[in-house]
C-alpha cells in the first residue's frame, strides 16, 4: 500500500473559549482553558492515521516538554515519528487559540517549525518515498522548504497535495507539480485575487487555480461546505448541519481524509464528500487532533 508523508508543523495549542473575542487593548475573561496537540501538519497526519493510512510525519519539535508530548500523541494515533527532528535551544511550535461561538482566532509562534533542516527532508523524500506515495504539505514551515519538497516529490512521481495555509503564493512554475490544492476561502482569494463568495466567483477562482497549472482543486467554504473540480465540471458539496462547537482543525481533517480516500482509489468527488462528513464531525468536538474522527465514526455518520 502506498504511504502518506506529511511535511509540516507541529504545535501545542493553548486554547481559551470565550463568549466574544476581545477588542484591541481589552482584557476579557474566558470560560474554559485546555492544552492539546495541533499544528496543521500534525492534525493532517493524525487525520490520515485515523483513516487507517500508513502515515509518516516529517517536521520539527523543540527539546522541551511540549516536543515530547507532541511526538507521544502522534505515536498514540499511529503516526510514524522517526522523521521528526528535535531542535536544541528552541521551543516547540505554539498556537494561542481563542474560540468563540465555534469560530477561532489563532496566533502561531513557529518555534522549532521554522528551523527544519532541508538536507534531512531532502534525504527522506529522495530515499524513502516511492512513486504513488502521497506528500501532503501546508505552509506553516518555511515556504522555500515547501517549494523544494514539491519539486523533489513531483520528480519522484509522488502525488503532491498542497494546503496553502497560512496563505502565501509559491513560485508560479511549481503549481503544475501540485496534484491537488486545498485552500479555504481566504487562501483562495490571496492566491487568485478573486473572493469566492458566490457561484460565479467560485467558478472563476477555480479556473484561475487550474490556469496556474494545478490539476485538481478543492476549496473548503466553511459553513457553505466545499467545492471541487478535476478540470471540467465543478461539484458543490453542501456542509452538513451540525452543532458547531469548535472549527479548529476542520480544514486539516478535510485534507487528511481526502488524501487517504484518493490513495484508496476513490474519485475526487467520493473522497471530498467523505472528508466533508469527517470535517462536520470534527466541528462538533473541542480541540484539534484529538477531535478528528476515526474512519468508522465517519462511516457511521454518512
Ligand atoms: O489548522 C488548525 C491549526 O492551526 C491549529 O491546530 C494550530 O496549531 C494552527 O497551526
* CB contact burial 231-261 (16+ within 10 A = b; e otherwise): eeebeebebbeeebbbbbbbbbbbbbbbbbb
Residues of the chain with pLDDT under 50: none
Residue 186 falls inside a structural domain:
yes
Residue whose CA is closest, atom 6 of ligand 1? Answer: 38
Give the total number of structural domains in the chain. Answer: 1
- Quick one: pLDDT at residue 249? 98
d(CA 219, CA 217) in angstroms, rounded, equals 6
d(CA 173, CA 272) in angstroms, rounded, equals 26
Residue 17 falls inside a structural domain:
no
User: Residue 99's closest CA among 153, 32, 163?
Assistant: 32
- Known catalytic membership, residue 252: yes
pTM: 0.97
d(CA 62, CA 277) in angstroms, rounded, equals 34
Question: From the CB of 13, is ligand 1 less than 6 Å away?
Answer: yes
- Read off the C-alpha cell for 239: 456542509
- Quick one: pLDDT at residue 1? 78
> Do 301 and 284 touch, CB atoms closer than 8 A?
no
Mutate to test the pocket of ligand 1, among 36, 97, 138, 290 (most ligand atoms within 8 A of CB): 97
CA 14–ligand 1 middle distance (angstroms): 10
Residue 176 falls inside a structural domain:
yes
Question: From the CB of 277, is ligand 1 less than 6 Å away?
Answer: no
Residue 220 falls inside a structural domain:
yes
CATH number of the domain that residue 178 is part of: 3.40.1190.20
Residue whose CA is closest, atom 10 of ligand 1? Answer: 39
Distances (CA, A) of 177 to 1, 13, 121: 23, 32, 18
Question: From the CB of 93, is ligand 1 less than 6 Å away?
Answer: no
- Quick one: pLDDT at residue 302? 84
Measured at the CA of 137, the angle between CA 133 and CA 142, to 5 degrees, comes to: 135
Residue 18 falls inside a structural domain:
no
Question: From the CB of 226, is ligand 1 less than 6 Å away?
Answer: no
d(CA 47, CA 275) in angstroms, rounded, equals 10
> Do 216 and 229 touch, CB atoms closer than 8 A?
yes
Residue 21 falls inside a structural domain:
no
Residue whose CA is closest, atom 9 of ligand 1? Answer: 39
- Read off the C-alpha cell for 21: 473575542
Boundaries of domain holding 58: 4-9+40-89+114-301
Residue 180 falls inside a structural domain:
yes
Question: From the CB of 287, is ligand 1 less than 6 Å away?
Answer: no
- Quick one: pLDDT at residue 103? 92
Amino acid at each position: 500500500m502506498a504511504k502518506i508523508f506529511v511535511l509540516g508543523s507541529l504545535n501545542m495549542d493553548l486554547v481559551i473559549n470565550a463568549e466574544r473575542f476581545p477588542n484591541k487593548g481589552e482584557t476579557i475573561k474566558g470560560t474554559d482553558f485546555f492544552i492539546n496537540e495541533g499544528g496543521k501538519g500534525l492534525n493532517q497526519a493524525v487525520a490520515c492515521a485515523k483513516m487507517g493510512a500508513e502515515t509518516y510525519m516529517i517536521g520539527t519539535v523543540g527539546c522541551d516538554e511540549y516536543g515530547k508530548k507532541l511526538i507521544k500523541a502522534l505515536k498514540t494515533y499511529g503516526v510514524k515519528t522517526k522523521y521528526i527532528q528535535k531542535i536544541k535551544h528552541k521551543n516547540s511550535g505554539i498556537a494561542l487559540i481563542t474560540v468563540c461561538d465555534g469560530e477561532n482566532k489563532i496566533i502561531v509562534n513557529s518555534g522549532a517549525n521554522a528551523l527544519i533542516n532541508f538536507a534531512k527532508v531532502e534525504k527522506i523524500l529522495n530515499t524513502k518515498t516511492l512513486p504513488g506515495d502521497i506528500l501532503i504539505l501546508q505552509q506553516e514551515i518555511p515556504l522555500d522548504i515547501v517549494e523544494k519538497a514539491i519539486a523533489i516529490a513531483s520528480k519522484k512521481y509522488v502525488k503532491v497535495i498542497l494546503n496553502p495555509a497560512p496563505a502565501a503564493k509559491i513560485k508560479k512554475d511549481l503549481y503544475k507539480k501540485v496534484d491537488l490544492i486545498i485552500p479555504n476561502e481566504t487562501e483562495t482569494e490571496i492566491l487568485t485575487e478573486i473572493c469566492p463568495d458566490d457561484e460565479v466567483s467560485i467558478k472563476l477562482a477555480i479556473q484561475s487555480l487550474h490556469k496556474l497549472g494545478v490539476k485538481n482543486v478543492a476549496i473548503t467554504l466553511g459553513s457553505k461546505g466545499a467545492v471541487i473540480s478535476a478540470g471540467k465540471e465543478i461539484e458543490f458539496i453542501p456542509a452538513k448541519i451540525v452543532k458547531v462547537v469548535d472549527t479548529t482543525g476542520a480544514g486539516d481533517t478535510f485534507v487528511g481524509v481526502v488524501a487517504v480516500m484518493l490513495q484508496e482509489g476513490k474519485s475526487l468527488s467520493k473522497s471530498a464528500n467523505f472528508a466533508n462528513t469527517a470535517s462536520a464531525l470534527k466541528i462538533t468536538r473541542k480541540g484539534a487532533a484529538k477531535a478528528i474522527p476515526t474512519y468508522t465514526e465517519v462511516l457511521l455518520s454518512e
